[in-house]
Structure 1
Amino acid sequence: MAYTVILDPGHGGYDNGAVYFGRMEKYDNLDLALAVGEILDSNGVNVLFTRTEDVYVSPLERAYMANMVPADYFVSIHRNSGQTPNTYSGVQSLVYNMNDPSRQLAENLNKELEELGFTDLGIAVRTDLAVLRRTVMPSVLVEVGFINSDSDNTLFDERFDEISYAIATAILDSLGVPPTNEGEPSNDNEDTDNMMDNRNRNMNGNMNDEFNGNMNGNMNDEFNGNMNGNMNDEFNGNMNGNMNDNFNKNRNNTNGNMDNNMNNSNNPNSNLGQHEESEIDTDYQIGEGQEEQPTYHIQLGLFRDGNNARNLVNNLNQAGYMADIISQGELYAVVTGEFDSLDEAQAAEDTLRQQGYSTLIVRNGNR
């Protein structure tokens, strides 16, 4: 059975992530994700990436891209950061809840990285991060050491290949795939030049075009939804918070349910993993406290140009669908239908997708 894993190098482009004396998290994340992907690929796993270059991809866009393909795991790779340099160190994994396969993957990741010398800071529940909340497959965000810890950075650099192999091994173990020796670091000591060459490895076309396409705007048609060449602004990060509970994995809200090793208020590491402000799901924040009865619509496009929205409405009308344009600030959303239940909306969405439309269920009301 062929497995598919989506690797998500955190941050990118103008979003540097955490920075420490000029060292930027976005580069460490990308280097590590590419190295892990190469090892997984050599072990027969289909690997997709949310980015393969130093470009910005919004958290909601990452989740939306991931949900377009059937994948077994989504792994977001990050470095942690504390308020005071050289105060904290170690590896930590974040999950949406503790009751799906993501927990086992998180445990495997922490275990493998602890064996290389990282302190295991445990698993934390984060329901406010878009890449965990919005992805439909089991998802983990792993913080591979602290970027403002000199000891963690030394470990990250000197044992980079072993760290890559450890993460890949944790993923393979979680999939139930026995790891081969492909990609396993040699026991021989490597000189610094060779180590850095490995960090700058070229994937030479081993990455699926569904994801790498051209992240500077030439996205694969599977992602732009055959929208007559007009790139949907959802892929520009302008999703304005209208994402569906289908992207919430229909999970029970588990706010505050930390794993036992993170629950102790006296634990100095109990508030770690809070620095990823750029990863926060803003729709989750806005939607809290709303009391109105939820209803569902199917969104088929979000445009800056009103003419493009009207063209899509005309096409839908000709196909027998009643469609409307809803103004969202400077954007124009094309929607159809109004459903009282998610099941009804999903049934209608399936029909539209079978006809080649790119769809997104949007929800109004209490989450």
Structure 2
Amino acid sequence: MSVPFLSVKPRAIKLKVSPRFPARVIGRAGIDVTKQNGDYFIDLDYADFPVIGSVPAGATYALIFNPTTGQYAQLPISLLGGGIPDAPIDGTIYGRRNAAWVAAGGGGGIPEAPNDGILYGRKSLAWSAVPAAPVVREMLTAARTYYVRSDGSNANTGLADNAGGAFLTIQKAIDVIASLDLSIYQVTVVVRPAGGGNLSLGNLLKNYVGAVAPIIVGDETTPSNVVVDGNGTSCFLSDNVRPWHIRGMRIRATSAGSGFDAASGGIIYFQRIDFQTFNQGYAHMRSSGAAIIGATGNYSISGDAGFHVLAVNNGYLQNYLAGPVPLTGTLNFSQGFAYANQGGVLYTSGMTFNPAGATVTGPRYAATSNGVIATGGGGANYFPGSIAGSASAGGIYG
């Protein structure tokens, strides 16, 4: 048989022959031969090709027809299936989460990792889940100051005392400090409401890593220049939190909430605070659950509340002051200026209150259910008020 002409097309092979009979043209598996007017056509018969469910072991390439170019091309087996290329084989360990490779594991000739949203890595022939990267705290190497202003933004760094650098809220500064490793350095939050503006949000104090308690300070010379309104919650809440120092501001809550609220072992120290008006169901200071609120310096009272100091459920309030506590205005403490209940302790030895120019109404004190109020022998009129104090159900006053 002579073959004068051979024409190759992507989908068919056309062969013209001048056979010397009795020669024959025979198709075999996957190849069909048809004759039309003396012409023989040889075609691939795809129906004869078996369908396989997986790529054979050791296979490297597959032959793929590209209808755009009309050509066949070799395609790496790794591109079949999930459409994810092999990780680089460069000595680095790569892993993947869904369709994205992440430097964590590497190698070649290894089946795909599970596509279940978990990051996997490989070394040698074994896939293993890669643990999440640990959170690395920034460790301070010097003292740091953050600034809060009513014209600031929580998108700022907080490190500059201007509108473009300061935070908008005290809470943002607290959150940032909680994310740091303070080491042995002092961190201070300086609060400067621009234009005399108020900060109308309560603040949740948080635990921190470090040896020195952070300080939040406004204006210790004129505390009324910096006003913090709880706006429906306590101005500063410490629930099972290490000590924070709060200084130099006026605090109030025009609706619900106390001034300082410490619970479950939380600790708040303060000085140069002006306690303004709070709802009669709440307190200027409330301590519960073995928590501590302590005055480290003088303070003032210019507004009323249900209680000035309230210690319940083994809460503890202590005040060691060198001078009097001035009171101004018409003040009503309807539940008691000082109140200790359920094992709560108020230690106020050596304090003096100066109500000159103020009218103070309500019970002077109440100690009940094993609550203790220790005045160091201050007597029945130690606290201001218009109604005599009382001790009952195991309560102690003295």
Whether the TM-score (by the shorter chain) exceeds 0.5 is no
Q: More helix per residue: 1 or 2? A: 1
Please classify the TM superposition score into its range, dividing by the shorter chain length: under 0.3
TM-score (norm 1): 0.20
User: Relative CO higher for 1 or 2, CA cutoff 8 Å, sep ≥ 6?
Assistant: 1
- Larger CA Rg, structure 1 vs 2: 2
Q: More strand per residue: 1 or 2? A: 2
TM-score (norm 2): 0.19
